[in-house]
Amino acid sequence: MLKQLKRLSLSLLLPLMAALTLSFATPSMANESAAAKSAEKEMTQLAGADIWREVRAGQEGYTTSQWPEHGVLISTAGETWFVLKEKWMSPLGALAIFGSLVMVTLAYFVVGPLKLSKPKTGRKIKRWSRMDRALHWSMAFSFLTLAFSGLCLVYGKHFLKPILPSEIWGMIIYAAKQYHNYMGPIFFILLMCVLLKWWRKSIFNKTDIQWFMKMGGMVGKHKGSHPSAGFSNGGEKAIYWLLIVFGIVVAFSGFVLDFPMFGQLRRDMELSNLVHMLSALILICGFIFHIYIGLFGMEAGLDGMVTGDVDETWAKEHHDLWYHEVKDLPENQPQDKKVD
């Protein structure tokens, strides 16, 4: 009998407790639901379709930050920059670099390197000092490494990222970015040294016009004609000023990107990025031809920058005006052979 009473009391007590719990919970749930609806309504009123249309249009809102453009959530002009960079400049830049490589390859196999007309005499003519060579190779190192790191930043996601583990890719792209940022100012310092060191030797004159008209004696009916030139021929002067002009543009546009704490707006950064990229691509294509001439396109073309001296025959044929100016200098006189 006692057990039956306990069962009966439990059967009555449990539904009663459930009813009481539900009665307390229902207002709470109702309040939460009402609060959620109120918040949703408030958000709809404050950030509804009209608000997001304004944001999408690039309209500036309110923020406590006083930095320029911090109130702009979406930069509509940034989409133009993205299209210009990714859809136009990147593909055309890759095509230009590939085209330059194809051209120098065809030049080597179709036209062939420019050979000396006469055998070397063995007499050495001093052309570059140790300081000149140190400056040249320092500039070459900084330029080439900046070019490779920059190309990695632009094209690496297309060629390296798909085939590398994400950790390795992350390390490579981070290293390329940091190297590019810190080497850029060093490149500018070297560029100024190059400007101060060789600008007098790189001023164009009437002799250079004849040199260009004969295409440097490297192709066509003029091949092997060796047009007259002073210390620097027309081609060397052209590559020098290409480096100076576009190198300065690359450097200053890079400074804008490197140091974004001087009030640059998004438009300034985007324009600097496009100018930086275009100038760098022009330099890369130009120096593909410069490297080709030095390594493959001209016999003994690299000797001067390696040893500082050039053979007398090379000096006569490629820089005859300069040769006649310096041939009688003491450092260019033949050394008497020692007799054992």
Q: pLDDT tens across 262-291, in order?
A: 888 888 999 999 999 999 999 999 999 999
Stronger pLDDT, 330 or 50, i.e. the higher one: 330
DSSP annotation of 337: P
Q: Is 114 helix (H, G, I), strand (E, B) or coil?
A: strand
Residue type, 24: F
Q: Alpha-carbon dihedral of residues 13, 18, 22, 24, nearest 10 degrees?
A: 50
Find the range with the poorest average confidence among 12-26, 162-176, 187-201, 247-261.
12-26
Strands (E), 173-287: none
Stronger pLDDT, 69 or 340, i.e. the higher one: 69
The pLDDT, as a whole number, for residue 10 is 45
Residues in contact with 7: Cβ distance below 8 Å, sequence separation at least 6, in sequence order: none
Stronger pLDDT, 226 or 90, i.e. the higher one: 90
Tokens 């100076």 sit on residue: 244
DSSP annotation of 106: H
- CATH architecture assigned to 124-332: Up-down Bundle (1.20)
Stronger pLDDT, 222 or 269, i.e. the higher one: 269
What's the full length of the chain, in residues? 340
Token pair in block for residue 46: 């404050």
Q: Which of 85, 90, 89, 61 is nearest to 73 (CA)?
A: 61
Q: Which of 155, 181, 143, 153 is nearest to 260 (CA)?
A: 181
H or E element that contains 156: helix 130-159
Q: What is the DSSP string of 263-320?
A: ---HHHHHHHHHHHHHHHHHHHHHHHHHHHIIIIIBTTSSHHHHHSEEEHHHHHHH-H
The pLDDT, as a whole number, for residue 29 is 47
Q: How confident is the model at residue 338 (pLDDT cuts 50, 70, 90)?
A: very low
Which residues, listed in sequence order, are joined to residue 309 by a DSSP beta bridge? 126
As a whole number, the mean pLDDT across the chain is 85
Pairing between β-strand 124-126 and β-strand 309-311 as defined by DSSP bridges: antiparallel
d(CA 58, CA 184): 33
Find the range with the poorest average confidence among 49-63, 113-127, 224-238, 242-256.
49-63
How do the domains of the chain map onto residue ranges?
A: 124-332
